Amino acid sequence: MEALIAGILTVFTVGPLIGIVAGVAVGIFMGAIPGLTAAMAIALLSPVTFGMEPITAIAFLTGIYKGGTFGGSISAILLNTPGSPEATATAFDGYPLAKAGQVKRALQMALFASVAGAVLADVLLYLVAAPFSKIALKFGPTEITFVVLFAFTFVAGLTGRSMLRGMSACAFGVLCAMVGLDPMSATPRLNFGFIELQDGLPLLPIAIGMLGVTEVMLAVERSIEKRRGNSTNAVSSISDTSGPPLPITEFLTYWKTILRSSLIGSAIGALPGIGASMAAFIGYGTARKYSREPEQFGKGSLDGVAGPEAANSAVVGGSFVPLLTLGIPGNVTTALLIGTFLVHGIEPGPHVFKTEPALIYGIFTILFVANFFNLAVGLLGSSLYGHIVKAPEYVSYSIVGLTCLTGVYASSNSVFSIYVMIVFAVIGYFMKKFDYSFVAFLIGFVLAPEFEIAFRSFLLIAQGDPVGLLLKSPIALLFFTLTVVAVVRIAWSEHLNTTGKKQRT
């Protein structure tokens, strides 16, 4: 109880509260611009949080995550172009509503559903995380090895169109994380004589290069194609955000859709690799399935906005379950958050619940409070949305490019980091072109150090009999079975998909 009160009190101070407001505003702004995502905003702005108090930094980045999830729906509704991938399903009914003059109702439904979904997910996180962390505390090297292996397989199999390419990307992430000092013998490894690589490849330049600079490269490519007359991407936008509002009493009539989607989003968020986009599509499909007017879907149904928005926002709370209890990030955003946590001396995992309970309750409070700031900033800024989404590409992407460089230089005060960023931006560009999952790469990179220590310890403890040791641990055996089932299931699904017998959704 003391820890809970201490956690709440830490958040209700000037720094964290300003951090949440600023984060939510930045998140909504970045999320609203097509092509720019909350993950990119977190990658770009992580370096500036290094000088902040840890709780303020977490508040700021969590605010971006929350705001960015809603922000993506703004351009989906106004432009029919999702600001972020998870808002794709929102466009199906949001844009028809906007075209029918109900733009304010659509935007408010997206905002209210997003906030309601996130609140429900955060309550679930609060209820689930602490008991689950008690189980996770019993995990030794054997269990951690197979839990992480499961996360690798699941993420690699579900974040791209090919499991083999996803697994290759994940293994490449692991390989990149091996640069630096060997964690067990402290001997140099794969640094090719560069003193700057003695501490390993830094996460932020890699993430910023792959997320931010790659998008700038694609924007330049689009501009060149456009000049040559090969591109015809005329977008019809709606800049007037007025119209009849959505009364709260009417919003409450959609409670079943929101509750259903929130549960779907929370469950999907807790599983590594599936992500908010899948949650939004399942939320949309479920809303349609249970709707009294399924024929209205695609023509402008408020249910069709509420379903995906509640689901994709609930993923945020759900994704904090494996992050805080196991130290396993399930998506790019939480992988970046884990990197920033480590910079601030916080190592997420079950032991944090014992050693720093006030911090954990502080994070829960931040997640919860950020929803209400999201609501306030979302409502106050609604008149600006029309202008934000119409920002020319040459302004947004060029400034993103400069921010990438400034952020990376500021994070290390070294131009070497800029070169690392450029190299990984080029790698990221080709990974994107050839469908090698960046998410799988990043999860491999972030989890590799923990996996290496656990895996090598497991082999040492096993004394030449790893199968015997695996069979002695029910949890490890469960995760090993889940890994095998996931591989077979995903491979079979891909096979059916390529042979045209079944369309994977």
Partner 1 sequence: MTITNRNTVSIVIVLLCGIALWIIPGQVEDGETSFATGAALLPDLAVSLILIFTLLDLLISFGKSVQSAANRKMAVAGDIALKGAQFSGVVIVAGVMALYAFVLLHLGYLVSSTLLLAFLMTCTGARHFSKLAVITVAAVCVLYLGMRYGFGVHLPVLPDLTVLKG
Residues 439-458 contacting partner 1, CB under 8 A: 448, 451-452, 455-456
Burial 167-206, CB ≥16 within 10 A → b, else e: bbbbbbbbebbbbbeeeeeeeeeebeeeeebeebbbbbbb
Closest to 91 measured CA to CA, from 375, 313, 390, 304? 304
Shortest Cβ 48–partner 1 spacing (Å): 4
Among 463, 474, 501, 505, indicate the residue that binds partner 1 (CB under 8 A): 463
- In angstroms, rounded to a whole number, what is the distance separating the alpha carbons of residues 417 and 242? 46
Q: Are 332 and 214 in contact (CB under 8 A)?
A: no
Tokens of 413: 């005060």
Computed on alpha carbons and rounded to an integer, the radius of gyration of the chain in Å comes to 22
Structure tokens, 140 = 């030794």
Q: Which helix (H) or strand (E) holds 228?
A: none
Residue (91 or 210) nearer to partner 1, CB: 210
Among 137, 224, 379, 488, binds partner 1 (CB under 8 A): 224
As a dihedral over the C-alpha atoms of residue 352, residue 357, residue 362, residue 363, rounded to 10 degrees, the angle is 30
Binding-site string for partner 1 from residue 121 to residue 160, where x marks contact by CB under 8 A and - marks none: ----------------------------------------
CB of 337 or CB of 431, closer to partner 1: 431
Query: How many angstroms separate the CA atoms of 56 and 47, rounded?
Result: 13
Instruction: Indicate whether 235 belongs to the interface with partner 1 (CB under 8 A).
Output: no
482 is an interface residue for partner 1 by CB under 8 A: no
Does residue 228 interact with partner 1 by CB under 8 A?
Answer: yes
Within residues 316-335, the interface with partner 1 by CB under 8 A covers none
Q: Which of 165, 285, 291, 482 binds partner 1 (CB under 8 A)?
A: 165
In the complex, what is the shortest distance from the CB of residue 367 to partner 1, in angstroms, rounded to a whole number?
23
**What type of residue is 219?**
A
Mask of contacts with partner 1, 410-429, x by CB under 8 A? x----x--xx-xx--xx--x
Nearer to partner 1, 134 or 226 (CB): 226
Q: How far is the CB of 33 from partner 1 (least distance, A)?
A: 13
Tell the burial category of 26 from Cβ atoms under 10 Å away from its Cβ (0-12, 13-18, 19+). Answer: buried
Identify the H or E element spanning 180: strand 180-181
Q: Tokens 């439904």 map to which residue?
A: 109
| Binding residue for partner 1, selected from 5, 235, 376, 402, defined by CB under 8 A | 402
Which C-beta is closer to partner 1: that of 12 or that of 194?
194
Stretch that binds partner 1, among 73-81, 328-336, 461-469, 477-485 (CB under 8 A): 461-469
Which CB atom, from 311 or from 454, has the smaller least distance to partner 1? 454
Binding of partner 1 by 167 (CB under 8 A): yes
Q: Considering only residues 37-76, where is the footprint of partner 1 by CB under 8 A?
A: 47-48, 51-52
Can you tell me whether residue 337 is helix, strand or coil? helix
At its nearest, how many Å lie between partner 1 and the CB of residue 460? 6
Q: How many residues bind partner 1 (CB under 8 A)?
A: 74
| Residue span 87-126 as binding mask against partner 1, x where in contact by CB under 8 A, dash where not | ----------------------------------------
Among 123, 130, 218, 475, the residue binding partner 1 under the rule CB under 8 A is: 218
Nearer to partner 1, 229 or 345 (CB): 229
Q: What angle do CA 263, 63, 449 make, to 5 degrees?
A: 80
| Of the residues 285, 409, 487, 493, which one makes contact with partner 1 according to CB under 8 A | 409
Ranges within 382-401 binding partner 1 (CB under 8 A): 392-395, 397-399, 401
Q: Given the structure tokens 């029309």, which residue do they identify?
A: 386
Find the shortest distance in angstroms from Cβ 209 to partner 1: 9
For residues 189 and 176, the answer to whether their CB atoms sit within 8 Å is no
* Smallest distance from partner 1 to CB 169, Å: 9
Q: Dig out the tokens for 304 from the structure.
A: 């069709």
Rounded least distance, CB 495 to partner 1, Å:
9
Is residue 343 within the footprint of partner 1 (CB under 8 A)? no
Cβ density class 440-474: b for 16+ within 10 Å, e for less: bbbbbbbbbbbbbebbebbeeebeeeeeebbeebe
- Stretch touching partner 1 by CB under 8 A, among 116-124, 221-229, 286-294, 475-483: 221-229
| Neighbouring residues of 449: CB distance < 8 A, sequence distance ≥ 6 | 177, 183
Please list every residue from 350 through 379 that binds partner 1, using CB under 8 A.
Answer: none
Least Cβ distance, residue 394 to partner 1 (angstroms): 4
Query: Any residues with CB less than 8 A from the CB of 102 and at least 6 apart, and which?
Result: 243, 244, 300
Question: 93: closest CA among 288, 226, 273?
Answer: 288
Nearer to partner 1, 188 or 285 (CB): 188
Q: Are 399 and 219 in contact (CB under 8 A)?
A: no
Tell me the closest approach of the beta carbon of residue 73 to partner 1, in angstroms: 25
Binding positions for partner 1, 169-208, rule CB under 8 A: 171-172, 174-175, 178, 182, 184-185, 187-192
Tokens coding 427: 């790698």
Nearest residue to 353 via CA among 162, 54, 138, 35 = 138
